[in-house]
Chains A and B, each alone.
Chain A
Amino acid sequence: MIHLENVVKIYKVARRGTGTKETLRAFFRRDYTEIRALNGLSFDIQDGEIVGLLGPNGAGKSSCIKICTGILYPDSGTVECNGFIPYKDRMRYTREIGVVFGQRTQLFWDVPVGDSYELLKDIYDVPEQKFRENLQELTELLDLQKLLMTPARQLSLGQRMRCELAASLLHDPKILFLDEPTIGLDAVSKLAVRKFVRKINEEKKTTVILTTHDMQDVEALSERVMLIGKGRLILDGTLSDIRREGASLDESLVEFYRDMERDDQESGDAAE
């Protein structure tokens, strides 16, 4: 179970104008602006759910994932995942989760994928027997036989993503976080990734939380959709809550964001 209540995360951003004069001035005096990446975010996710996190770039999706995985400390609010406070119990909590960041790699660049897996086995203290079973199962599901002996640097993006997914599941995590798992993938790989995530969720009851900009990912995977904008939860429901008559999902979403901006402005005007 994942429980977030009123979570706030603030980043300080140094800002300055362009040009020599401004640069020199900024050297002596820096202006910081506070960016509220998360501004009172609250939600609950039950075991076994697949939840899609949607939102425009900079909405706070990644910050949300990073707080849920124990990477970042929130500035205020309550976070509880499976009975742990992620950022405090990081060492124990991270044993129970698997993470894939689509834009980065967790495999060791210079060594065959299989060696990276062996290391993960020791990092997560997976018993030998269990490791063999899981590896075999994942190898079949993701068609990895040929890839295990290949150094990670020589994999194509699609192959690498399959290897990343396997890497994040070797230790039977209870929760799987996928941050843009289909970014840059071709149609075949996207379908393979979706099918696989679905299967893992059904068979192992793994809770899956994924962020994506690909509406088809969400359509294929998650019944539940959470829309995040400006660090808050705007909508918690299903795709049909977003979909508008006669428009594609992407168009509907754009409409939705536009309405959100307008509401924001109006409430701002009203306050003045």
Chain B
Amino acid sequence: MKKYLSFFRLRLAMGLEYRVAALAGLTTQFFWGFMLIGAYRAFYESNPSAFPMTFQAMVSYIWLQQAFLAFFNTWRYDNDIFSLITDGGISYELARPVDLYRMWYAKNLAMRISEAALRFAPVLLLAVLLPQPFRLGKPASPAHLLLFLCTMTTGLLLMIAFVMILYGLCMRTVSPTGIRLFIPAIAEFLSGQIIPLPFFPEKMRKVLELLPFAGMQNVPLRIYGGDLSGDAMWMSIALQIFWLGVFLVLGKLLFRSTVRRAVVQGG
């Protein structure tokens, strides 16, 4: 375990070097969040009764989503890994006593944590200082805050387990571009990144809530504002943990069978 931990540390340190990228990122996230809230406000004012969440819960949803985007982003992949796959650098990874799955898992976890670490605080700080109705509100209760943090962690682990499956699939094709474009787009939509899940039609929402993607961000973000609580909340948490287990096992199996038939490209 120690080797994966020190790899995690090294990758974390590397990620924290990119300060200008962080500044650019948090500026974008701040204005994006501001704009989204503006748009939803227009909908809300035209017909408050048709709004599926309280406006306050929605504002919290958006600010937390923007602050922790590095955790929820289905488009965030490690380009190093793709170049290892396409140019054959994977040889070195396999010639060492490391488990490829754990190593890459640690790498992606470190990458996302380092990115979030540089971005979340300024976005949240600005969001609590804004005038109403744009201000980020308090969590529904201290318990909701705690559960938000826990489910966000599980969501992050689930997201990476998902990304690992994509890396595994990419190893089986010569060019990863197709998988990289297609699957993240679908996952983004299904996870509630573009439109929060409560805004979907009733029947569709019920299905989406059962899918693994809901656990990636819909669950933690709705728990914070109290939009998800009680039995529905516990059910979502159980599903989130269930899917995490499924994805971890699937990814592991996929890696095992892929490494077996690996062809190292280019000499």
Q: How far is the CA of A92 from the CA of B97 in the complex (A)?
A: 7
Cβ of A111 within 8 Å of any chain B Cβ, yes or no, is yes
Cβ of B96 within 8 Å of any chain A Cβ, yes or no, is yes
- Chain B contact-residue range equals 20 to 34
Given contacts A73-B260, A115-B10, contact A94 B96 (CB under 8 A): yes
Of the candidates A71, A72, A106, A111, the one whose C-beta lies within 8 Å of that of B13 is A111
Cβ of B125 within 8 Å of any chain A Cβ, yes or no, is no
Residues of A within 8 Å of B94, CB to CB, are 69-71, 90
Assess whether B89 is in contact with A104, with CB atoms less than 8 Å apart.
yes
Residues of B within 8 Å of A264, CB to CB, are none
Cβ of B14 within 8 Å of any chain A Cβ, yes or no, is yes
Total A-B residue contacts, Cβ distance less than 8 Å: 74
Q: Would you list which residues of chain B between 81 and 101 have a CB under 8 Å from chain A?
A: 87-89, 91-92, 94-99
Cβ of B7 within 8 Å of any chain A Cβ, yes or no, is yes
Contact with B along A81-109 (1 / 0, CB 8 A): 00000000011101101010101111010
Assess whether A91 is in contact with B99, with CB atoms less than 8 Å apart.
yes
Residues of B within 8 Å of A11, CB to CB, are 263
- Chain A contact-residue range equals 20 to 34
Residues of B within 8 Å of A101, CB to CB, are 91-92
Assess whether B92 is in contact with A99, with CB atoms less than 8 Å apart.
yes
Q: How far is the CA of A90 from the CA of B95 in the complex (A)?
A: 8
Assess whether B264 is in contact with A95, with CB atoms less than 8 Å apart.
no
Of the candidates B5, B95, B98, B267, the one whose C-beta lies within 8 Å of that of A62 is B267
Assess whether A124 is in contact with B10, with CB atoms less than 8 Å apart.
no
Q: Would you list which residues of chain A between 114 and 139 have a CB under 8 Å from chain B?
A: 115, 118-119, 122-125
Expressed in whole angstroms, the minimum distance between the Cβ of B199 and any Cβ of chain A is 40
Expressed in whole angstroms, the minimum distance between the Cβ of A205 and any Cβ of chain B is 21
Residues of A within 8 Å of B96, CB to CB, are 94, 123-124
Of the candidates A66, A99, A110, the one whose C-beta lies within 8 Å of that of B14 is A110
Of the candidates B14, B95, B262, the one whose C-beta lies within 8 Å of that of A111 is B14
Expressed in whole angstroms, the minimum distance between the Cβ of A145 and any Cβ of chain B is 22
Of the candidates A97, A104, A119, the one whose C-beta lies within 8 Å of that of B10 is A119
Residues of A within 8 Å of B14, CB to CB, are 108, 110-111
Expressed in whole angstroms, the minimum distance between the Cβ of A211 and any Cβ of chain B is 11
Cβ of B78 within 8 Å of any chain A Cβ, yes or no, is no
Cβ of B3 within 8 Å of any chain A Cβ, yes or no, is yes
Expressed in whole angstroms, the minimum distance between the Cβ of B190 and any Cβ of chain A is 30
27 A-B residue pairs with Cβ-Cβ distance under 8 Å, sorted by A, are: A69-B95, A70-B94, A71-B91, A71-B95, A71-B262, A71-B264, A73-B260, A73-B262, A90-B94, A94-B95, A94-B97, A99-B91, A101-B91, A103-B267, A104-B87, A104-B89, A104-B92, A105-B89, A105-B92, A108-B10, A111-B10, A111-B14, A118-B6, A122-B3, A123-B3, A123-B97, A125-B3
**Residues of B bordering A, CB below 8 Å:** 2-3, 5-7, 10, 13-14, 17, 87-89, 91-92, 94-99, 260-264, 267
**Residues of A bordering B, CB below 8 Å:** 11, 62, 66, 69-73, 90-92, 94-95, 97, 99, 101, 103-106, 108, 110-111, 115, 118-119, 122-125, 177
